[in-house]
Amino acid sequence: MIAETGNWASALFGGFMLIAWIIVAVLVIAGVWMTFVKAGKPGWGAIIPFYNWYLLIKVAGRPGWWFILYFIPFVNIIIHIIVCIDVAKNFGHGAGYGVLLWLFPFIMFLVLGFGSDQYRPVNA
């Protein structure tokens, strides 16, 4: 009897966690989509794996070959931080906002995409 209750509770908790992660994923996609649209890139690119990295690099004003750097372990972390900082700068924010964009993309891309920020490329 206890094993059945444990399985039921685990399944219920797992279901709630799945729903929570789906909601977070949808919010991130919506924020990145709107960020891409503001930057003049196709918004649907936010849902295409790997292409969304390439578009984010282009929004940051970096060359497209930087995409290859995302496949090098440890280097990819540094590159993504730099890209997030450059995206923030291109929307008129500082490096601190870029670090927050890297740490909390589920919140910050929503703020960037749906906020009043204008895309003004600094790194062109």
Confidence of residue 123 (pLDDT cuts 50, 70, 90): low
Q: Which two tokens stand for residue 107?
A: 């919140």
Encode pLDDT of 25-64 as tens digits.
Answer: 999 999 999 999 999 999 999 999 999 999 999 999 999 9
Encode pLDDT of 54-98 as tens digits.
Answer: 999 999 999 999 999 999 999 999 999 999 999 999 999 999 999
DSSP state of 115: S
**Alpha helices for the chain (secondary structure H):** 2-38, 51-59, 66-69, 75-90, 95-103, 105-114
